[in-house]
Structure 1
Amino acid sequence: MNDEKYKYSILYVEDDEAVRSNYVAYLSRFFEEVYEAADAESAYEIYKEKKPDILVVDIILPGRSGIDFLRDIREYDHSTRAIMLTALSDVETLVSASELKLTKYLIKPISRDELKEAFEMAVDEIVNYTTYSNRLIHIKESCYWDQDKEKLIYHDKEIFLTRKERELLSLLFSNIHRVFKSEEIIFELWYDFDNSKISSLKTLVKTLRKKLPEGTIKNVFGIGYTIEL
């Protein structure tokens, strides 16, 4: 491998502080962004905020286990690569959790070479494979927008959308963070423009906001609307 770091992020979850510190320093040699957590709860918060590309997770953690942590993520996300660290006694439990879609599991104690081989496999999978959840946009909490099916999903259930609501979300999510002008949205949804459509758009946005996490649709004064994640 050359000296250039991978342009991916990685989250290392391990409750042993000395071990974690050692491997975080090692991983920082290869990745531009390396996050760390000592338990499943803090790891999940980092995952939601940072959306790391690769997870390295110890199976035994204080509170909830690494398996439970990954199961929560796999409810919606099947593209983030995962490497599990386990003791011999944990292997049977780990193998039975087939829905975790692991890149690899490593039996502790692990060497740096073993870890390097595993995360290189994960990078290869990111580069060469496309999975369903790449088409899911995580909004906030447990709310997602399915780009292909044009569905709003909250806590694994589809939220009913009217045709205009679906068309508006499809437009806004087609270019996240771009501000769409009100006139542009009106032409896209109603195919013509008059003052009554401005009121219709405002009503549409108001009702749609009730179905989305707070702050998802942002009004840019005097211009139009944008998505804010």
Structure 2
Amino acid sequence: MKYRILIVEDELVTLSMLSKVLKEDYNVITAVNGKKAFELYKKFNPHVIISDLKMPIMDGIELIKKIREIDQNSKIIITTFKDDIDTLLAATELKLFKYLIKPINLIELKKIIVNSLEELSRFNTISLDSIKISNDLIWKRDEFELYNDNKILKLTPKEKKVLNFLLTKPNQVFTYNEIIYEVWQKNDEMGDRKTLKTIITGLRKKIINIHISNVYGFGYKIECF
């Protein structure tokens, strides 16, 4: 699977250059303003976002803020001119991975992308046998069982699959299509949003102290405390 990279840049020559260089190794998505970029972000859920700061319609800061409302994990790389540094400082609390001063050094950019993906792989994918969801809730991956106050909760096989997948990246939103593929289509089964919604509703009813959030028009995330 190729990693997905969203490039947001209103300077078309720069956008074309970055896209041409990076599409050899990654699935590249492009946008010329923040508004379009956010639409593409919700559709493709990219692993890395490379964004200019000053753009029409929606600038880079506003775009990053909207992304961070639903996703704390995607790696964001900002490109900026030296005279935009003050604007960049305003975004420091938004968990930027790196920033690059224009004109962009492509060798440096490639290294930063590799480092960001290594960190994403190292820290965002949980493979522990036991995952603490809350004080009382423990998901035991090796047993494929959910414990509430040390007692096994009865869940259907599909409920367990949805729960297990959401817990690979707690507190991060998965798109509807990502969940459906993992739970059904990966096994050549039929699944859709309506069926997924029914399973999420079932999990919420059976597990009163679980927090599964719906990001409207995008997907679901499970919150761990």
| TM-superposed deviation, 1:130 | 2.5
1:34 maps to which of 23, 28, 48:
28
Q: CA RMSD in A?
A: 3.4
Does residue 62 of the first structure (1) align with residue 56 of the second (2)? Answer: yes
Unaligned residue ranges in structure 2 (runs of 5+): 127-131, 138-154, 166-178, 185-197, 206-212, 220-225
Q: Is the 1:87–1:108 Cα contact (8 Å) retained in structure 2?
A: yes
| TM-superposed deviation, 1:84 | 0.1
| TM-superposed deviation, 1:62 | 0.7
In the TM superposition, what whole-angstrom CA distance separates every residue of 1:128-185 from its partner, at most 9, and x where no partner exists?
A: 2228xx8xxxxxxxxxxxx9469xxxxxxxxxxxxxxxx8996554464346xxxxxx
Give, in whole Å, the separation in 2 of the partners of 1:174 and 1:125.
Answer: 22
Describe the shift of the 1:46–1:88 C-alpha distance in structure 2 as closer, same or farther (beyond 3 A): same
Give, in whole Å, the separation in 2 of the partners of 1:15 and 1:71.
Answer: 19
Give, in whole Å, the separation in 2 of the partners of 1:103 and 1:121.
Answer: 10
2:144 aligned residue? none
| TM-superposed deviation, 1:46 | 0.6
Give, in whole Å, the separation in 2 of the partners of 1:82 and 1:19.
Answer: 18
Q: Is the 1:74–1:99 Cα contact (8 Å) retained in structure 2?
A: no
Give, in whole Å, the separation in 1 of the partners of 2:11 and 2:92.
Answer: 26
| TM-superposed deviation, 1:115 | 1.2
Q: Secondary structure at the match of 2:56?
A: coil
Moved more, 114-123 or 18-27: 114-123
Give, in whole Å, the separation in 2 of the partners of 1:98 and 1:121.
Answer: 19
In the TM superposition, what whole-angstrom CA distance separates every residue of 1:94-137 from its partner, at most 9, and x where no partner exists?
A: 12322221111001111211211221221121122228xx8xxx
Does residue 22 of the first structure (1) align with residue 17 of the second (2)? Answer: yes
2:6 aligned residue? 11
Q: Is the 2:2–2:25 Cα contact (8 Å) retained in structure 1?
A: no
Give, in whole Å, the separation in 2 of the partners of 1:37 and 1:48.
Answer: 13
Hey, which bits of structure 1, 4+ residues long, moved more than 4 A?
167-175, 211-214
Unaligned residue ranges in structure 1 (runs of 5+): 1-5, 135-146, 151-166, 180-200, 217-229
Give, in whole Å, the separation in 1 of the partners of 2:92 and 2:18.
Answer: 26
Greater relative contact order structure (CA < 8 Å, 6+ sep) = 2
TM-score normalised over the length of structure 2: 0.59
Q: Secondary structure at the match of 2:46?
A: coil
- What's the % identity of the aligned pairs? 31
| Matched length | 155
Q: How does 1:94-109 map to 2 (within 5 A)?
A: 94-109=88-103
Does residue 88 of the first structure (1) align with residue 110 of the second (2)? Answer: no
Query: What letter corresponds to residue 22 of structure 1 in structure 2?
Result: M
